Amino acid sequence: MSQLPHEQLLQLIWNLAMQQPPLYEALARHCAGQPMEREPVAAAQLRQQIDQVFAYLATVSAYDYEDDYDDEYEYEEITALLQQVGAKERRERPELLWYLIERANLAFAEATLATVQIELAIAQYVQLVSELCPSLPERKPHIEKLVSSLDWELMGHGRILVTTRRGLETLAGYPLLIDLLKGHPAQSIREWVAHYYRQLGRDDAYLTYRRAHLHHEFQYLDLAQFWQQRGDTRQYLATLESWLTLGVPPEPPSVVLQMLEAHYAQQQNQVELLRILLCEAQWYGVTLALYQRIKPLAIAQEQWQEVRHQLLSLAKGGAEIETLSRIYIYEAQEEDAIALLDHPQCYESTTVFIADGIKQKYPQQAIVIYKKLIQAYLDRKNREGYAIAAEYAQALKHIYLNILNSPEPWRDYLLQLKERYGQKRSFCDEFKDL
């Protein structure tokens, strides 16, 4: 081995390191922080190194632990490859960079890697092509490569798709991209076409294309904003309202609802504002805050009884027991709130809210609720249970002393608890301040 030329010896060590992760990691630690003088290598040999690096990274990812994932992480191996590519003749670099990008995409089928260096490779590829290929016919094969890559696994990570889109716009320009992308199978890519028409000022073409691809809320928003920018309020509102007629609520919050609500509120159009808020209740359910906003509007239009019935029906139909309890307490309907305690979906937080809400008017019922909660946690017979029981006991004490002004029943109750659990040190610790 001592007779081998220096370059062959280095290549042999490199190949062995790629096959043996412990050896590679040891070499990387030894060389960390030391500038490495690299002799230029042949293009075929560099491709082989690219294959080896990404095969290695696909199996020994820097992100074996999800919590450590960082798109900005830079691999020493890829840095070395980019340096090698940069040492080649300028006309050789685009092909080598594209080979590196392709192999990175294959690696993403096996592992999730950081993307910042791949984004850099794409940007360098675009820059070189723009300099080496001044005419559009010369660039077209490279543009088609970038277009074909839009379906890759790689595009779903980091800022790869953003970088690729920026590269396409640099090399091709909007008219060519419209021709290349308007039939793309991915809806998200086809949306670029609508943007390009608008950037070119081709309003008629934009409207034709937009109306032919009008299925989702964000597309209606795009069209509405088009009309808004042109000061056409009638078309702006008509577009937003036409989305509502589809009756397909998007994931909350709905931007269309928010925009319509803001418009009608600004115009002080209470009739339309009430309609929009009721639509929100139908789509996403009733909350106390929404109930409170709707109530004065419905009262002003003398529709409150009908609207209130509708809101309560929506809450009951959606088993929104917590919301119902808040509405009942807000409306001082304590008996209706108490009736909710028997509902199977009346969970502890709602139970406590009801007890707190009825204590002034129905203190005895609140006492029963708190005693049940206290006993349930005492039965756990551990420090955590005693701590929570003590919190509820503090609320119970407040009812006896401050609402009923009856200290004797409270002292009797506390004495009973101490007689039963006083031998438990953790109980004594938690109840000492009561």
What confidence score (pLDDT) does residue 213 get? 93
- DSSP 8-state code for residue 153: G
pLDDT tens per residue, range 122-147: 999 999 999 999 999 999 999 999 99
CA atoms of 382 and 14, how far apart (whole Å) = 61
22 residue type, one letter = P
Cα separations in angstroms, 96 against 29, 90, 140, 187:
27, 10, 18, 31
Residue positions counted in the chain? 434
Residue 202 buriedness (CB in 10 A; 0-12 / 13-18 / 19+): middle
Residue of 250 and 294 predicted with greater confidence:
294
Q: Are 339 and 325 in contact (CB under 8 A)?
A: no
Q: Is the pLDDT of residue 321 over 50?
A: yes
* Residue showing tokens 């409207």: 207
| pLDDT at residue number 196 | 98
User: Distance (Å, rounded) from C-alpha 120 to C-alpha 160?
Assistant: 9
Residue type, 117: Q
| Residue 96 pLDDT greater than 50, yes or no | yes
- Tell me how far apart the terminal alpha carbons of the chain are, to the nearest angstrom: 84
Tell me the C-alpha distance between 25 and 21, whole Å: 6
- DSSP code string of 299-357: HHTT-HHHHHHHHHHHHHHTT-HHHHHHHHHHTT-HHHHHHGGGSTT--HHHHHHHHHH
Q: Report H helices in 2-91.
A: 6-19, 21-31, 43-59, 76-86
User: How many angstroms separate the CA atoms of 240 and 252, rounded?
Assistant: 16
Please tell me the predicted confidence (pLDDT) of residue 320: 82
66 CB-contact burial (10 Å; exposed 0-12 / middle 13-18 / buried 19+): exposed
* Each residue's pLDDT tens digit, 171-199: 999 999 999 999 999 999 999 999 999 99
Neighbours of 84 (CB within 10 A): 20
